[in-house]
Amino acid sequence: MSTALNNLSQHDASNIPDGSPFKISIVVSEWNSMISSSLTKGAVDTLIDAGVYQNNIKVYKVPGSFELIYGAKKAQHQKPDAVIAVGSIIRGETKHFDFICQAVSHGIKDLNIQSDIPVIFCVLTDNNLQQAQDRSGGKHGNKGIDAALAALKMANFRSQIL
Ligand code: DLZ
C-alpha cells in the first residue's frame, strides 16, 4: 500500500500542527524490540520537533503486539490527546501472525470507535525482518514518524470539534 509517492515520512513541514498544547501517550510492544524501539524513537523525535513537551510524552511498554489493545485502552484512561500503538509483527511458520495482526488491527479500530481519544496504528506487519528494518529507519522511511504526524493531526482535529 505504501509507495515512494505516498510515504508520509517525506512530509510537508508547513502542514504539521503545533504540538505544544498536546499530551501524547505511546504504547510499545517489546516483541522485535529493535524494530519497535526504532519506531518509538522516530515518533518521539518527531513529536518533540513539532513542539510537544518532553514531559507530555509518556511511553508505556507491553509484552507483545496483542497486548497493545489493552495497553492503549489503559493509556486512554490517562486522557492524553492521542495514543500511538507501536509494534512489529513478523510472519513465522504458523498462523499466529494472522491471528495477532487481525486482533490488533480490529482491537485498535474498536478503541477508536468506542473512545473519544484517537489511537494511531503504528504496527508493522511484515513478511521478514528485512521488511521491518526497511520501514523502521531504513529505505522506506520510519513509520514511527508517520504515526507521530498522524497523532498530531488527530489531536488537532479532535481539539477543533470537541
Ligand atoms: C507470540 C508472538 C509471536 C509468535 N510473534 C509476535 C510478533 O512477531 N510480534 C509481536 O509483537 N508479538 C508476537 N507474539 C506475542 C504476542 O503478541 C503476545 O504477546 C502473546 O501471544 C501473549 O499474549
Distance 128 CA to ligand 1 centre (A): 15
In total, how many domains does the chain have? 1
Euclidean distance between CA atoms 131 and 79, whole angstroms: 34
Q: Which residues line ligand 1 (CB under 6 A)?
A: 29, 31-32, 63-67, 87-90, 92, 96, 100
HEC sequence for 71-117: HHHHHHHCCCCEEEEEEEEECCCCCHHHHHHHHHHHHHHHHHHHCCC
- Identify whether 16 is part of a domain: no
Amino acid 14: pLDDT:
78
Farthest-apart Cα atoms in the chain, separation: 46
- Mean pLDDT, the chain, integer: 94
Angle, alpha carbons 152-156-161 (nearest 5°): 150
Q: Whose Cα sits closest to atom 16 in ligand 1?
A: 64
Amino acid 162: pLDDT:
63
- Per the annotation, the verdict on 11 as an active-site residue is no
Mean per-residue pLDDT, 115-131: 97
Mean per-residue pLDDT, 93-108: 95
CATH classification at residue 105: 3.40.50.960
Q: Grid coordinates representing 26?
A: 505511546
Euclidean distance between CA atoms 58 and 18, whole angstroms: 18
- pLDDT of 96 over the 70 cut: yes
Amino acid 5: pLDDT:
45
- 1-35, pLDDT tens digit by residue? 555 444 556 677 778 999 999 999 999 999 999 99
- Identify whether 133 is part of a domain: yes
Where in the sequence is the domain holding 117, given as residue range(s)?
22-161
pLDDT bin (cut points 50, 70, 90) of residue 69 is very high
Amino acid 10: pLDDT:
67
Mean per-residue pLDDT, 123-149: 97
Mean per-residue pLDDT, 71-99: 96
